[in-house]
C-alpha cells in the first residue's frame, strides 16, 4: 500500500501559461483532488480536464488516457513518501532508529489527512485491476520491506528479520487502512505510531536471547545536525575493543559526490592515456609504501576493526600490498587481440577502461577490500571513487595517501565517507560506469537494482554459508586446522568461512575432541597484544546478533561443545568479545546451519557417504566457497567439480592468493575479483574492422 500527502493545487487557470512540467504536476494535483472528492469512478478524463479548465485533448496529450493519468498521480505520491523515508533514514543512527524512521514517516500526521487518505484509498482499490498501478505499488512495497529488513538484520538473525519486517509492513498498512475506513475515528497519527512502536519493541525483546553477563553499552552518538539540514554531517568511529573514539568523519552528500565524480572524470582521461607500464610503476610504488608502513597500518586497522594485530600485520596490510604489486605487473600486458579476416581485412579488439568506477566496501577487511577493488581498476586505466563501510572508515584514507605519495594523479583514487545513502549516491550517479560492492546479499540486490537505471556493470562479492567437507581418510590435524582457519580467523567475520563443517561419521568423535581442545586453547584478548588470537567483534549490534544465533542454536537442540559466551573479564568488558563457539549435533534445517552469522560460530554435521554430503552441501542459496579434506585426490577433484561454489580449497581453507580469481555463484555474487579475471570486469572491448581493399557497394 502506498500513501502520501501532497499539497493542494493552485488556481486551475494558471495551467495555461505554465511550462510543461508544471502543467503535468498541476494536473496530477487536480487528479488527487478529484479522487478525494468523487472517487475513482467519478474521476474521468473529461471531468479532470474541466476542473483544470483545460481541454480533454491537453490531458490526453500529457498522459494518454485515464489510467496513464492515475498512474502518474500514484507514482508522484509514492515517490514523495519514499523521499521522506530516505530523509529520515539519513538521520537515524541505529538500526532501531531506522525502523522507527520508516514507521514515523508512513504514519506521519499528513498521512492521516482526509484528502490524501481518500485519494490513497481510491488508488488502493484499483491496484488489482490496473497493471500500471500495481507496478508502482509493488515497487514501493518492496522498497519498504527492504529498508525494514536491512535495519532489522543488524539486530536479528536474517530469517527473523525478514519475518518481523513483513509483520511491521503489514501492521503499518493495516493500522492506516482501519483508520482511513473509519474516517479517521479509529486512530490518529500519534496513536498509530505508538501502537507500532510498542509492537516493535516487544517483538525485539522477545527475539533477543541475552546471554548471562551481556551488558548493553552506550549506543553510537546521535548524528550532528547542522542548521536546517536534516542530513547527518558526520559520524564517530570507535575502537570496538575499547570504545575509544578514533575519529569524527564528515559524511559526503550529493554535492561532494558530484564534485568527486567531476574530478575523477577529468583525471581518468589523462590516467588512461598513460602507457600501462607507467600506471604499473605507480601501483608498484604504492605497494612498497604500504609494506614499509605495515606496523603503522596494521595498528590502525586493528583499532578500527578489533581484529588481532597478529592478523592485520601478517595478512591485511601485506595482502593489500601484494594485490597492488600483482596488478602493477599486469598493467603493461592488458591488451586486445588481432583477428585475421582474410587478405582483404583484419580486425582487432582494444581492451579499454570503463571510465569512472565506484568501490563500496564491507567492514571486515577494510584495507584489503580497498586494494582488491582499486588495484585492478587503476591498472586498467579507470578512476575509482571508494566508499569504505561506516564502521571502518580509516585505512582507505591511508591507501589514498599512499597512492598520492606514489605519484598517482589527483582525482584518480578518491575516498568518500558515509552510510548507505552515500553508497546510493554512487550507484545512482549516471557518470559512474561500474560499481564493485562487497557486502550482504540484500545490499547486493539493492545496488544491482539501483545500478540498473544507468545500466552500470556490477561486481558483487556477497555473503555465504559455505560447506567444509572432511572425509574419513583426511589428515585429522590438517582438517582441524582448516576448520579453525575457516571459522575463527577475524573472529569469524569472513565471508568465505566454511561454517557448515560436514565430518564423516567414522572420524567425528576424534575430530571433535581435537577441535574442542584447540578451540579451548585459543587466546582471546586485547587485539593490540601480539599474543591475542581472537579479538573483538565489530560492534555491539553485531555481537548481539551473534549471541542471538548462539541462543537460537541451543534452543533448537544443537549441543554447544565449547565457547559461545560473551567475555567480560577486565578491560574486555568495554568491547564485544565472544568466545569461539562449536556446535555439535546440528541438523541442516537449524538457523545456525542455514543462515550467515558472520561471527565465531561453527556447526559440525555428520555424514555417511559422498553423494549425500554433496547434496547437503549444495542445499543452500549461497555459493561463495567450499572446501574438501581427503587424501584421495581423485575423490577431491570429483567432489569439488560438483560443489556449487565460486572459490574452493582442497586440503586447506580460506587462503586467497591474489593470482586466483575470487567470487561467488548463486546468491553469493556476480563477477570475480583478483587474478586476470578482474581485468575483464574493469575493461570493455572495442572491436575494430580494418578494410584492406576498395568498398564494393551495391548502390
Ligand atoms: P553491508 O551490505 O551492510 O554493507 C556493505 C557496504 O555497502 C557498506 O559500505 C554499506 O554502507 C554500503 N551500503 C549499504 N546499503 C547500501 C545501498 N543500498 N547502496 C549502496 N551501498 C550500500 O555489509 P557489511 O559491511 O555488514 O559486511 C558484511 C557482509 O559482507 C557479509 O554478508 C559478508 O558475507 C559480506 N562480505 C562478502 C565478501 C566477499 O568477498 N564475498 C567479503 C567480505 C564480506 P554502511 O554500512 O557504511 O552504511
Q: Looking at per-residue confidence, does 124 or 698 come out higher?
A: 698
Cβ atoms within 10 Å, residue 591 = 18
Nearest to 79 by CA among 140, 125, 24: 140
Nearest CA to ligand 1 atom 39: 461
- Which of 155, 158, 439 maximizes ligand 1 atoms within 8 Å of its Cβ, making it the mutation to test the pocket? 439
Q: Which candidate, 245, 265, 266, 262, places its Cα nearest to that of 254?
A: 262
CA proximity to 512, closest of 560, 550, 551: 560
Question: Which has the minimum average pLDDT: 58-72, 296-310, 564-578?
Answer: 58-72
C-alpha neighbours within 13 Å on the C-beta side of residue 127: 19
Binding site membership of 623 for ligand 1 (Cβ less than 6 Å): no
- Structure confidence at residue 216 (pLDDT): 27
Cα-to-centroid distance, 235 and ligand 1 (Å): 17
- In tens, the pLDDT along 54-81 reads 888 888 888 888 888 888 888 888 888 8
DSSP state of 403: H
Could you tell me if 236 and 248 are in contact, meaning their C-beta atoms sit under 8 angstroms apart?
yes
Question: Could you give phi then psi for residue 325, rounded to 5 degrees?
Answer: -65, -40
**Whole-Å CA distances, 530 to 101, 319, 392, 522:** 43, 19, 21, 13
- pLDDT confidence bin for 632, thresholds 50/70/90: very high
Model pLDDT, residue 231: 62
Of the chain, the percentage scoring pLDDT greater than 90 comes to: 69
pLDDT tier, 18 (very low <50, low <70, confident <90, very high otherwise): low
Q: Which atom belonging to ligand 1 lies closest to the Cα atom of 391?
A: 47
Using CA atoms, how far apart are residues 259 and 57, in angstroms rounded to an integer?
A: 44
Q: Which atom of ligand 1 is nearest to the CA of 624?
A: 41
285 pLDDT higher than 70 = yes
The H or E element containing residue 357 is: strand 356-360
**What is the rounded distance in angstroms from the CA atom of residue 204 to the CA atom of residue 597?**
18
Q: Please, how many CA atoms are within 13 Å of residue 133, restricted to the half-sphere of its CB?
A: 21
Q: What is the pLDDT of residues 193-206, one digit of tens each?
A: 888 888 898 888 77
Mutate to test the pocket of ligand 1, among 443, 444, 494 (most ligand atoms within 8 A of CB): 443
Mean pLDDT of 369-395: 98
Task: Output the residue whose Cα is nearest ligand 1's atom 21.
Answer: 423
Q: What CA–CA distance (Å, rounded) separates 601 from 580? A: 6
Residue 7 has pLDDT above 90, yes or no: no
Does the beta carbon of 359 lie inside 6 Å of ligand 1?
no
- Nearest CA residue ID for atom 5, ligand 1: 439
Q: What is the C-alpha to C-alpha distance for residues 270 and 285, in angstroms, rounded to an integer?
A: 19
Is any atom of ligand 1 closer than 6 Å to the C-beta of 463?
yes
End-to-end CA distance of the chain: 60
The pLDDT of residue 402: 98
pLDDT, tens digit, 9 for 90 and up, residues 452-474: 999 999 999 999 999 999 999 99
**Per-residue pLDDT tens digits for 75-84:** 888 888 888 8
Q: For 320-349, how does the pLDDT look when each residue is reduced to its tens digit (9 = 90+)?
A: 999 999 999 999 999 999 999 999 999 999
SS3 for 78? helix
With residue 37 as reference, give the H or E element that holds it: helix 20-42
Identify any residues that bridge with 350 across adjacent strands, giving them in sequence order.
Answer: 686
| Ligand 1 contact, 419 CB (< 6 A) | yes
CB of 537 closer than 8 Å to CB of 527: no
**Nearest-angstrom CA–CA distance, 83 and 515:** 52
Which helix (H) or strand (E) covers residue 699, if one does?
Answer: none
Amino acid at each position: 500500500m502506498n500513501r502520501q500527502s501532497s499539497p493542494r493545487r493552485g488556481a486551475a487557470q494558471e495551467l495555461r501559461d505554465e511550462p510543461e512540467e508544471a502543467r503535468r504536476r498541476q494536473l496530477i494535483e487536480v487528479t488527487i483532488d478529484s479522487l478525494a472528492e468523487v472517487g475513482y469512478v467519478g474521476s474521468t478524463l473529461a471531468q479532470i480536464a474541466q476542473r483544470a479548465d483545460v481541454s480533454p485533448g491537453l490531458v490526453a496529450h500529457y498522459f494518454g488516457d485515464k489510467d496513464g493519468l492515475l498512474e502518474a498521480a500514484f507514482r508522484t505520491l509514492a515517490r514523495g513518501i519514499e523521499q521522506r523515508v530516505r530523509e529520515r533514514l539519513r538521520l537515524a543512527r541505529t538500526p532501531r532508529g531506522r525502523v522507527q524512521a520508516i514507521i514515523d514517516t508512513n504514519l506521519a500526521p499528513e498521512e492521516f489527512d482526509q484528502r490524501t487518505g481518500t485519494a490513497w484509498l481510491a488508488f488502493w482499490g484499483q491496484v488489482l485491476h490496473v497493471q500500471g498501478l500495481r507496478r508502482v505499488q509493488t515497487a514501493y512495497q518492496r522498497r519498504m520491506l527492504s529498508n525494514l529488513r536491512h535495519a532489522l538484520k543488524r539486530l536479528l538473525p536474517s530469517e527473523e528479520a525478514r519475518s518481523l519486517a513483513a509483520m511491521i509492513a503489514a501492521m503499518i498498512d493495516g493500522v492506516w487502512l482501519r483508520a482511513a475506513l473509519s474516517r479517521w475515528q479509529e486512530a490518529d497519527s500519534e496513536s498509530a505510531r505508538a501502537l507500532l512502536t510498542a509492537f516493535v519493541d516487544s517483538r525485539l525483546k522477545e527475539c533477543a536471547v541475552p546471554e548471562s553477563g551481556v551488558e548493553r553499552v552506550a549506543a553510537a552518538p546521535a548524528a550532528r545536525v547542522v542548521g536546517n539540514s536534516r542530513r547527518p554531517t558526520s559520524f564517530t568511529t570507535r575502537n570496538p575493543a575499547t570504545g575509544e573514539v578514533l575519529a569524527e568523519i564528515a559524511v559526503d552528500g550529493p554535492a561532494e559526490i558530484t564534485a568527486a565524480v567531476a574530478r575523477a572524470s577529468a583525471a581518468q582521461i589523462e590516467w588512461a592515456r598513460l602507457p600501462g607500464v607507467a600506471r604499473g610503476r605507480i601501483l608498484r610504488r604504492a605497494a612498497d609504501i604500504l609494506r614499509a608502513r605495515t606496523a603503522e597500518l596494521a595498528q590502525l586497522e586493528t583499532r578500527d576493526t578489533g581484529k588481532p594485530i597478529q592478523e592485520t600485520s601478517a595478512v591485511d596490510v601485506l595482502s593489500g600490498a601484494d594485490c597492488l604489486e600483482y596488478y602493477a605487473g599486469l598493467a603493461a600486458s592488458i591488451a586486445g587481440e588481432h583477428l585475421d579476416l582474410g587478405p582483404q581485412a583484419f580486425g582487432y579488439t582494444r581492451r579499454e577502461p570503463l571510465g569512472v568506477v565506484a568501490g563500496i566496501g564491507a567492514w571486515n577487511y577494510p584495507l584489503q577490500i580497498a586494494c582488491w577493488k582499486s588495484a585492478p581498476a587503476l591498472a586498467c586505466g579507470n578512476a575509482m571513487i571508494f566508499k569504505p563501510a561506516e564502521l571502518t572508515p580509516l585505512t582507505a584514507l591511508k591507501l589514498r595517501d599512499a597512492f598520492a605519495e606514489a605519484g598517482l594523479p589527483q582525482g584518480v583514487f578518491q575516498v568518500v565517507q558515509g552510510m548507505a545513502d552515500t553508497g546510493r549516491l554512487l550507484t545512482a550517479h549516471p557518470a559512474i560506469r561500474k560499481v564493485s560492492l562487497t557486502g550482504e546479499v540484500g545490499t547486493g540486490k539493492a545496488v544491482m537494482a539501483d545500478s540498473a537505471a544507468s545500466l552500470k556493470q556490477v561486481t558483487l562479492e556477497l555473503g555465504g554459508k559455505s560447506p567444509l567437507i572432511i572425509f574419513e581418510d583426511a589428515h585429522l590435524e590438517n582438517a582441524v586446522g582448516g576448520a579453525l582457519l575457516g571459522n575463527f580467523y577475524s573472529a569469524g567475520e569472513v565471508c568465505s568461512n566454511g561454517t557448515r563443517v560436514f565430518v564423516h561419521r567414522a572420524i567425528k568423535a576424534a575430530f571433535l575432541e581435537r577441535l574442542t581442545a584447540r578451540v579451548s586453547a585459543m587466546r582471546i584478548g586485547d587485539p593490540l597484544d601480539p599474543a591475542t588470537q581472537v579479538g573483538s567483534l565489530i560492534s555491539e549490534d553485531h555481537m548481539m546478533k551473534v549471541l542471538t544465533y548462539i541462543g537460537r542454536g541451543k534452543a533448537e537442540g544443537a549441543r554447544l561443545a565449547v565457547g559461545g559466551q560473551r567475555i567480560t573479564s577486565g578491560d574486555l568488558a568495554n568491547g564485544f568479545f565472544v568466545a569461539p563457539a562449536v556446535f555439535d549435533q546440528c541438523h541442516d534445517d537449524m538457523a545456525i546451519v542455514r543462515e550467515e552469522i558472520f561471527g565465531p560460530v561453527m556447526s559440525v554435521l555428520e555424514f555417511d557417504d559422498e553423494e549425500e554430503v554433496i547434496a547437503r552441501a549444495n542445499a543452500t542459496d549461497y555459493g561463495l566457497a567450499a572446501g574438501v579434506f581427503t587424501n584421495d585426490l581423485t575423490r577431491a577433484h570429483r567432489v569439488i567439480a560438483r560443489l556449487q561454489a565460486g572459490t574452493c580449497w582442497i586440503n586447506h581453507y580460506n587462503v586467497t592468493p591474489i593470482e586466483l580469481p575470487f567470487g561467488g555463484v548463486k546468491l553469493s555474487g556476480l563477477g570475480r575479483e583478483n587474478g586476470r579475471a578482474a581485468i575483464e570486469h574493469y575493461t570493455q572491448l572495442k572491436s575494430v574492422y580494418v578494410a584492406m581493399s576498395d568498398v564494393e557497394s551495391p548502390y
